[in-house]
Structure 1
Amino acid sequence: MNSRRKVLAGIIASIAMGAFATQATQPARAAEPLKANVIHWWTSGGESAAIRQFADAYNKAGGQWVDNAVAGADQARSTAINRIVGGDPPTAAQFNTSKQFHDLIDQGLLNNVDAVAAKENWNAIFPESILNSIKVNGHFYAAPVDIHMQDWFFYSKPAFQKAGIAGEPKTFDEFFGDLDKLKAAGVIPLALGGQAWQEKITFDAVLADVGGTDLYLKVYRDRDQNAVNSAAFKNVMTTFKRLHNYVDPGSPGRNWNDATALVISGKAGVQIMGDWAKGEFSAAKQVPGKDFGCFPGFGPKSPYMVAGDVFVFPKTDNAAAIKAQNLLATVMTSPEAQVAFSAKKGSIPIRPDVDQSSLDMCAKEGIAIMKDKSRQLPNPEMLIPPDVQGALTDVITNFWNKSQSVDDAQKAFASALKS
């Protein structure tokens, strides 16, 4: 019996050794990629091409990008918030560079990326206006991915030529003169997507360029009632409404990229829009300086309204998810990914220490302007809470679309600013 046990024991040991040897000769199983479910609203042609730059960079860094595109900024933010509150948070979610996500911070619903910010020296690299949005109580709660300027003027070179316009306007009065020439030439003078947010950024362009930086900051930063009730602000309201004479009947409800398409085709002369519109020109193979022109306001000292996008990282205790969040923050803000993204998106990189040789003339002008801090102007959403921004947008869209007097609109704006 003992001999039989010894034989069995020997067989078992031999099998075990063989199994061990087989395992030892097999390659180690590759680590699972860090899966990241990312919610964003970039769905137009240029935007989709841009977000793929981040996705590709993340995948090459060892991650697995799971794209969750939701059409419309408001809808995408609502989807992200509902998932966060509902216990099924994405790895990351897009918000604007603003106060939009500060309530989530206050409620303890976001992870910080302090380790990435310290390693990459964000404090020294990023502009102050961006830092003020993403850094709260000493912690970094978002990764900024671009700098946009929301009131560039894009124009069709063929349309300007048809209307006999030789150069870019230097003042708002000259701009109105050019709009009249475009109208006389049978071209839609101003391509505007008649949606509330587009009407609001058009108004803000007028406020910054006609009212000037001081009035702009008194209104949005200081919420100064005397400034809103002033003759200077009334002039801003009057100038804004005057633009309504130059939009076409198809404007109401039009998407921004459809308005851009009118300029690309030469059916319209000008669009006032953020530099994300440049991504649509690029997707259409149009070249700035040849097929279309761009200028960021009037004159060499016109204010440059800083806007942009960030990704926030919902609260989780899952170690793999936290690693994915940190990898996303690192990759998205890296010099290489920043250049690749900006070239497709139309924005400028969030950091100045990049090789800008591959960027277009409009982007290079924006980078040069950002070096002059006196021209940097925070966009309204950096200065006022989302509920106040919403109330003011309602006032502006009501004034634009209805037969309301300037005095009544001015009073409504003052009242909404108090909310």
Structure 2
Amino acid sequence: MNRSNTRRLGAITLACSALLASAAAGAGEVEVLHWWTSGGEAKAAAALKLTLQKGGHRWKDFAVAGGGGDSAMTVLKSRVVSGNAPSAAQIKGPSLQEWAREGVLANIDDVAKAEKWDELLPKIVSDGMKYKGNYIAAPVNVHRVNWLWVNPEALKKAGAKLPTTWDEFFAAGDALKKAGIIPLAHGGQNWQDFTTFESVALGIGGAEFYKKALVQLDAATITGPQMTQVLETFKKVKGYTDKNAPGRDWNLATAMVIKGEAGMQLMGDWAKGEFIAAGKTPGTDFVCTPAPGSAKAFTFNVDSFAMFKLKDAANVAAQKELAKEIMAPNFQELFNLYKGSIPVRLGMKMDKFDDCAKASAKDFVDTAKAGALVPSIAHGMAVPSAVEGAIKDVVSQFWNDDKMSVADAQSRIASAAKTK
């Protein structure tokens, strides 16, 4: 090789080295706080990590075990107070606005506008991702909460039909009792009591009543005749559970339905993962149907990542890439196939999803158009956490205390709704 070629090769090598160094310098790091530490959720988090790494960025996992995220929030608060916030944290519902009011969340409108999020999300969901009109979080998925899970073989054995109203539910429950089958699998934990309560409220009162009573916390609605009927029905439901329900985890209740020990369960669509893991097929081995009376409404639970203010430009770029990828079609499909939820992004192809997910996706769109897509109060989507906790406590007290009257429960719920 002559000197000219040697010099040319040397110049090219130096240029390539400079480009690589520049790319490395431009690569950022995202530290992501989440509690997806088991099963399909962990697989989905790993897929998001891989996607980000392909873009040249670094992923720093900040996983805190604990299904409800309480432990994660405790850790997050200490990190933010010390001025060392992560790039993104799994936060949802009104808690997003609570964090935004502290002035610690980043404005990611540039990503949202470039990716047309306003067009890809139902307004009630996109509004929840914003603070003062600006996006501060990226939504990941949608869980439907108002589901009834049914063992069709148990119903057949009892000579009962699939219930679509609460009267039909009680008729089916009576038939199951006579057949020696527990009508309703339930776990006596306050969040499970509250999940049942909100499905009864939606089924008895409809979406408008639900919004007034459990989202707007209207005192006249809470103390009115429809809430009286809701509480009476809710208490009647307890008579169809078994004496061993107190303290039972939700997945153990689901297992009772899978085994045919119980006929039905009121639970969000994360219960489907238990059926699938047991090798059961939707529509054949188990049935997913809206909770009685709630077929034309949809209580949603949306997971999302809040984006925190960062100083390093490369890390900000990586953070924006994370927000973009969360809403990208590939991740929306992959994550929700793993988790049992449905994509929050509208217009997604659902051919890889099962019948329950397809039905949920259709109802998600239809109820959004009809104004019957409502946030789940039991799962942190509707009211501030202090109010949610106060109402949840009253609901569980009423469920467990046979001496508490309906009127007393209504009065206590109205007082809890005023919690600051």
Q: TM-score normalised to the size of structure 2?
A: 0.87
Q: Would the alpha carbon gap of residues 104 and 115 (structure 1) be closer, same or farther in structure 2, given more than 3 Å must change?
A: same
Among candidates 125, 144, 150, match of residue 130 of structure 1: 125
SS at match of 2:128: helix
Corresponding residue of 1:412: 412
Percent identity of equivalent pairs: 40
- Distance (whole Å) between structure 1 residues aligned to residue 276 and residue 84 of structure 2: 37
1:376 aligns with 2:370: no
Deviates more, 1:67-76 or 1:357-366: 67-76
2:206–2:294 Cα contact (<8 Å) kept = no
- Distance (whole Å) between structure 1 residues aligned to residue 53 and residue 244 of structure 2: 42
1:46–1:279 Cα contact (<8 Å) kept = no
1:196–1:397 Cα contact (<8 Å) kept = yes
Q: Would the alpha carbon gap of residues 26 and 227 (structure 1) be closer, same or farther in structure 2, given more than 3 Å must change?
A: closer
Corresponding residue of 2:4: none
1:400 aligns with 2:396: no
Among candidates 65, 77, 83, match of residue 79 of structure 2: 83
Corresponding residue of 2:244: 250
- Distance (whole Å) between structure 1 residues aligned to residue 135 and residue 157 of structure 2: 51
SS at match of 1:170: coil
- Distance (whole Å) between structure 1 residues aligned to residue 365 and residue 332 of structure 2: 18
- Match of 1:412, as an amino acid? R
- Match of 2:24, as an amino acid? A
Unaligned runs of 5+ in 2: 1-6
Deviates more, 1:344-353 or 1:117-126: 344-353
- Distance (whole Å) between structure 2 residues aligned to residue 182 and residue 50 of structure 1: 39
Among candidates 256, 281, 288, match of residue 275 of structure 2: 281
Q: Which of structures 1 and 2 has the bigger CA Rg? A: 1
CA deviation after TM superposition for structure 1 residue 39, in Å: 2.0
1:348 aligns with 2:348: no
Q: Would the alpha carbon gap of residues 370 and 137 (structure 1) be closer, same or farther in structure 2, given more than 3 Å must change?
A: same
- Distance (whole Å) between structure 2 residues aligned to residue 256 and residue 62 of structure 1: 40
- Distance (whole Å) between structure 1 residues aligned to residue 129 and residue 47 of structure 2: 22
Corresponding residue of 1:100: 95
- Distance (whole Å) between structure 2 residues aligned to residue 248 and residue 90 of structure 1: 44
Aligned residues: 401
1:156 aligns with 2:157: no
1:46–1:283 Cα contact (<8 Å) kept = no
Deviates more, 1:86-95 or 1:131-140: 86-95
Corresponding residue of 1:6: none
1:270 aligns with 2:267: no
Corresponding residue of 2:31: 37
Moved over 4 A (4+): 20-23, 25-30
CA deviation after TM superposition for structure 1 residue 153, in Å: 0.9
Q: TM-score normalised to the size of structure 1?
A: 0.87
Cα deviation 1:357-415 (Å, max 9, x = unaligned)? 11111111122112222132233344422221111111111111223222211110111
- Match of 1:395, as an amino acid? V
1:46–1:280 Cα contact (<8 Å) kept = no
Q: Would the alpha carbon gap of residues 89 and 48 (structure 1) be closer, same or farther in structure 2, given more than 3 Å must change?
A: same
CA deviation after TM superposition for structure 1 residue 109, in Å: 1.0
Corresponding residue of 1:13: none
1:185 aligns with 2:184: no
Q: Would the alpha carbon gap of residues 39 and 258 (structure 1) be closer, same or farther in structure 2, given more than 3 Å must change?
A: farther
2:166–2:293 Cα contact (<8 Å) kept = no
- Match of 2:80, as an amino acid? I
Q: Would the alpha carbon gap of residues 327 and 234 (structure 1) be closer, same or farther in structure 2, given more than 3 Å must change?
A: same
Corresponding residue of 2:52: 58
Q: How does 1:248-327 map to 2 (within 5 A)?
A: 248-298=242-292, 301-327=295-321
- Match of 1:406, as an amino acid? V
- Match of 1:57, as an amino acid? T
CA deviation after TM superposition for structure 1 residue 289, in Å: 0.8
- Match of 1:71, as an amino acid? G
CA deviation after TM superposition for structure 1 residue 269, in Å: 2.0
1:36–1:321 Cα contact (<8 Å) kept = yes
